[in-house]
Amino acid sequence: MTKIPGRTQRSGGLFRRDLLKLSGVALGAGAAAPILGRSRPARAATEITFASAKFFGKETIAQLVDAYNASQDKVHVTYRELPPPSASTEVHQALVQQLARRNGAPDVFTQDIIWIAEFAAAGWSLPLDDHIDSSEIGAYFPGLVAGCKWQGKLVALPWFVDSGMLYYRRDLLEAAGAKVPETWPELVETAKKITDAGQAKLGFLWQGKQAEVLVCDLVSFTGSNGGAILDADGKTVRIADPAAVEAVQFMHDTIATHKISPPDLLSWDEEPSRRPFTAGQAVFLRNWSYVYGISQDASESSVVGKVGVAPLPHFPGKSSAASLGGYQYGVNASSKHKEAALDFVRWMSSPETQLRFALQLGLAPTRQAVFDHPELAKAQPFMAQLKPVFLGATPRPVTPKYPQVSLVLQSEVSKALAGGDVKGALEAAKSRIDAIVGV
Ligand code: GLC
């Protein structure tokens, strides 16, 4: 391992000045001062492992891990890359298999916000209350901190927040004299107008694949009609209520009736739906925040400077809803190197690293001061604009049994979309979920 003493030299160099303004904590804590003119006594670093879904952008997670390794010489992290978050079921399975062995590996992991309850209830996540200063916790958005708790204990440390949003082609809307749609009927009308005129091939892209992202889309369509999957009590299943049936009918109709969405999207998750949009073929796209950076990168996008981002539309008389996403850090309760693991997660969640993730990978910070950072406002202007959307996003059901609930929704909503019997499929989903959540 090559050791470069002093984290401010490598990882912090870029942002040092800004971060001094942001917070003294990240740069002060643990930054090893170079010892000039003397060689350091050799010391073996504590070896730990870190497993995370693969995220990409101008940098990779592996590069961030390298920066941590280079910033100090006490801990050395080996990164084990899991599939991308769109392969949610596979990432979940890999983590469950490893954590259930309770052998301490991986020492640190990242988890989708929907697994926090399950991992904590299984006793796999180290409670962090005694290890993270309560003043530090106040630096994060309170909603995210709440999402990182299970039965009153902090069992995860915030990494990034995400939410579904509407990407639109500003240039096409302007040329058509259309405003950014606030309701679904407005979106249908504008999509039709622009595609009928031959200005774009595709109207509205979303993700219909039988996968976790379908549940995310379901949450926002249903929520935008005042409906829900489960009530706040975590037991009353509302997925077959009229508001949800009407919302899923609309998802189906975007393809079958309005013809603003291509039937192909029934097999698309995030990336297949993103590509036609950044290739300039579509008017509207529902997706996560990572798309903005790609859409403004001329090597990947033909719509640089032509993209707007807005809250997702809603049913007339109702309010917009976005599904809450994002991954958070966990420390393995069986880790044999907890102090080293904690040092690493503190660094990963520091203001400096959160800013770097936001600028380089497009992942929205969970620290209030980093979210409001001027450099971020320049690079990802939509984040500041959509701050209320991120912070008001709707969580998927919070229960240790979430993965089972999700698999039922994925299969029944897929059936509804492909076959058209929306009411029948949602009734079936309701009775299967009733059996899981125990009513
Ligand atoms: C994004 C979200 C995550 C969600 C996944 C679905 O990665 O952050 O919460 O489960 O997409 O594909």
Ligand 1, atom 7: nearest CA belongs to which residue? 85
Ligand 1 centroid, distance to 217 Cα (angstroms): 10
Separation of CA 164 and ligand 1 centre (Å):
9
Which of 82, 110, 116, 212 for a ligand 1 pocket mutation test, highest count of atoms within 8 Å of Cβ?
A: 212
CA 88 to ligand 1 center in whole angstroms: 7
Atom of ligand 1 minimally distant from the CA of 53: 7
Mutate to test the pocket of ligand 1, among 52, 55, 93, 112 (most ligand atoms within 8 A of CB): 112
Residues pairing with 81 in the sheet: 52
227 touches 247 (CB < 8 A): yes
Q: Which residue has the tokens 């240039």?
A: 171
Pocket test for ligand 1, best of 55, 86, 118 (most atoms within 8 A of CB): 86
pLDDT of residue 439: 62
pLDDT at 36: 47
112 CA from centroid of ligand 1 (Å): 7
Per-residue DSSP letters for 242-288?
Answer: HHHHHHHHHHHHHHHTS--S-GGGGG--HHHHHHHHHTT-EEEEEE-
193 alpha carbon – ligand 1 mean position (Å)? 32
The answer to whether the beta carbons of residues 241 and 223 sit under 8 Å apart is no
Return the SS3 of 46.
Answer: strand
CA of residue 403 relative to chain centroid, distance: 17
If 0-12 CB within 10 Å is exposed, 13-18 middle and 19+ buried, where does residue 232 land?
exposed
Q: Which amino acid belongs to residue 232?
A: A
Residue 106: the pLDDT is 98
Q: pLDDT for 340-384, tens place per residue?
A: 999 999 999 999 999 999 999 999 999 999 999 999 999 999 999
What is residue 232's predicted lDDT score, i.e. its pLDDT? 82
CA distance 269 to 271: 6
Closest residue to atom 4 of ligand 1, CA basis: 325
Which ligand 1 atom is nearest residue 112's CA?
9
- The predicted pLDDT at position 56 comes to 83
Q: Quick one: pLDDT at residue 305?
A: 98
Nearest CA to ligand 1 atom 2: 325
Instruction: List average pLDDT for each run of 10 residues in the chain, which is 439 residues long.
Output: 36 43 40 45 86 93 98 98 97 98 98 98 98 94 96 97 97 98 98 98 98 98 97 91 98 98 98 98 97 95 98 98 97 98 98 97 96 95 94 94 97 98 98 91
CA distance 296 to 18: 24
- In angstroms, what is the span from residue 268 Cα to ligand 1's centroid? 14
List the beta bridge partners of residue 324: 163
The pLDDT tens digits for 25-80 are: 333 333 444 444 444 556 799 999 999 999 988 899 999 999 999 999 999 999 99
User: Kind and range of the H or E element at 153?
Assistant: strand 153-154
Give the Cα-Cα-Cα angle 81, 123, 104 (nearest 5 degrees). Answer: 45
Which residue ranges have their beta carbon within 6 Å of ligand 1? 85-86, 88, 112-114, 162, 212-213, 216, 288, 325-326
* Distance from Cα 393 to the centre of ligand 1, integer Å: 13
pLDDT at 41: 52
CA distances from 307 to 304, 311, 348 (A): 7, 14, 31
- Residue 35 has a pLDDT of 44
In the reported structure, the alpha carbon of residue 205 is separated from the centroid of ligand 1 by a whole-number distance in angstroms of 17
Measured distance CA(323)–CA(125) in Å, rounded: 24
Alpha carbons 114 and 333: distance in angstroms, whole number: 19
| Residues 425 and 419 sit within 8 Å (Cβ to Cβ) | yes
Q: Which of 56, 61, 269, 288 to mutate to test the pocket of ligand 1 (most atoms within 8 A of CB)?
A: 288
Please give the pLDDT value at position 438.
81
Task: Name the β-bridge partners of 287.
Answer: 165
For residue 434, the model assigns a pLDDT of 96
Write phi, then psi, for 237 (nearest 5 degrees).
-85, 125
Give ∠ CA 387-391-394 in degrees, rounded to 5.
Answer: 130
Calculate how far, in angstroms, residue 326's C-alpha sits from the geometric centre of ligand 1.
6
Residue with the smallest CA separation from ligand 1 atom 6 is 213
